[in-house]
Amino acid sequence: MINICGIFFVYLVKMKIVMKKLFLLATIILGIAFSCKTPVAVVDYRKNAEVAEEAGDNVIATEAWKAYFEQNLSNNDIDGSVYARAASTAYQAADVKQALEWYDLARHKGYEDPSMYLTLAEIYRHQGNISKEITALEEFRLKSAEENPDVNARLFSVYYSTNQTEKAVEIWSEVPDNLKGTAENLERYFNLNKMLENNASADSASLELLKVAPGHVDALEWQAQKNYEKGEARYKKEMKDYEARPTTGNYQTLLRGLKAASEDLRKALGYFEKLWEVNPDDRPEYAVYMNNIHVRFNEKEKADYYRKFID
């Protein structure tokens, strides 16, 4: 016997009737009416859902999927991929609650396609549920045969915001270069390495950060402090060694050592001068270093100038 309800449903979906929900209701009513008069075949709601999907009618398709699953409540053989397809359709129809319910059923049925976890991550991100978003993104990485640069970048961001420092540093190498080079991400990577006391990595990150953000205070302070301590330590060592054995040969060694120390102190001074301009609130702190550097250079007038700012 011809499936009158199914043909009628398919025909109206393809015509893209504007009032979709009224159309669905009319279909159901007609189905009941016909079934009361003649023994017609059961409506193929799955077929209806698939046709509606192809027509881009995700709201109608979602309702058809609901009817299909309701029709098959006692059927435990529905494949997980079917629930996943229905969930994707529900998500596109903005029915997030229904999408999550069907995705749960899909996973319960053993469905593990990586794309499902991307959609779940997107849902949880919009909901502000970072912990579940992280879990979904991590599941995607475990199950996907290919790397997804956007996923890696997002994981770096959420690891950082949730203080998972070691995970954030670990995934940094897999973040796309164009995203690594942003001031925001370089700042994050710089901070992470400082927290973990990875000084070499923090140092290189601070230099990269200053290329894109020349006035970044923390990076400037890192370089200023680093070069000052290096130069000052070299200066004191060379003077101590020479004073212990003040020979002509050691004097030449002293001069070479002081030259190297001066180069580091000169670098430090350049960073402190930049800080002096971009961060005037901390000038008293910077003045201590700048005064000491000018003292080392025997530049009394400049040393006296900065001494006036020292509390």
- List, for residues 155-196, the tens digit of each pLDDT value: 999 999 999 999 999 999 999 999 999 999 999 999 999 999
pLDDT grade for 211, boundaries at 50, 70 and 90 = very high
The C-alpha atoms of residue 285 and residue 78 are separated, in whole angstroms, by 70
Cα gap 284→4, rounded to integer Å: 88
Q: Are 103 and 116 in contact (CB under 8 A)?
A: yes
CA distance 145 to 151: 13
Specify whether the CB–CB gap between 191 and 201 falls below 8 A: no
- How does residue 268 score in pLDDT terms, banded at 50, 70 and 90? very high
Largest CA distance in the chain: 120
Look up tokens 């201590």; give the residue: 288
What's residue 42's pLDDT?
55
Is the pLDDT at 123 greater than 50? The verdict is yes
Q: How far is CA 30 from the centre of its chain?
A: 51
Measure CA of the first residue to CA of the last residue in the chain; give whole Å: 98
CATH fold of the domain at 214-311 = 1.25.40
The whole-angstrom separation of Cα 308 and Cα 303 is: 9
The letter for the amino acid at 175 is: V
Q: CA-CA distance, 224 to 203, in Å (whole number)?
A: 11
pLDDT tens-digit readout, 242-265: 999 999 889 999 999 999 999 999
In the chain, the amino acid numbered 304 is D
Is the pLDDT at 34 greater than 80? The verdict is no
At residue 29, does pLDDT exceed 60?
A: no
| Structure tokens that stand for 248 in this block | 């002509």
Give the tens place of pLDDT for each residue, 7-19: 444 444 444 444 4
Alpha helices in 16-129 (DSSP H): 20-37, 45-54, 58-71, 80-92, 96-108, 114-127
Angle of helix 149-161 versus helix 114-127 axis, rounded to 10: 40
Q: What is the per-residue DSSP string for 87-116?
A: HHHHHHTT-HHHHHHHHHHHHHTT---HHH
- Given a cut of 90, whether residue 141 has pLDDT beyond it is yes
Calpha distance 47→32 (Å, rounded): 18
Distance separating alpha carbons of residues 91 and 279, to the nearest angstrom: 49
| Six token digits for residue 285 | 């702190």
Distances in Å between the Cα of 163 and the Cα atoms of 73, 155, 168 are: 44, 12, 8
Average pLDDT over residues 116-136: 97
Rounded to two decimals, the pTM is 0.79
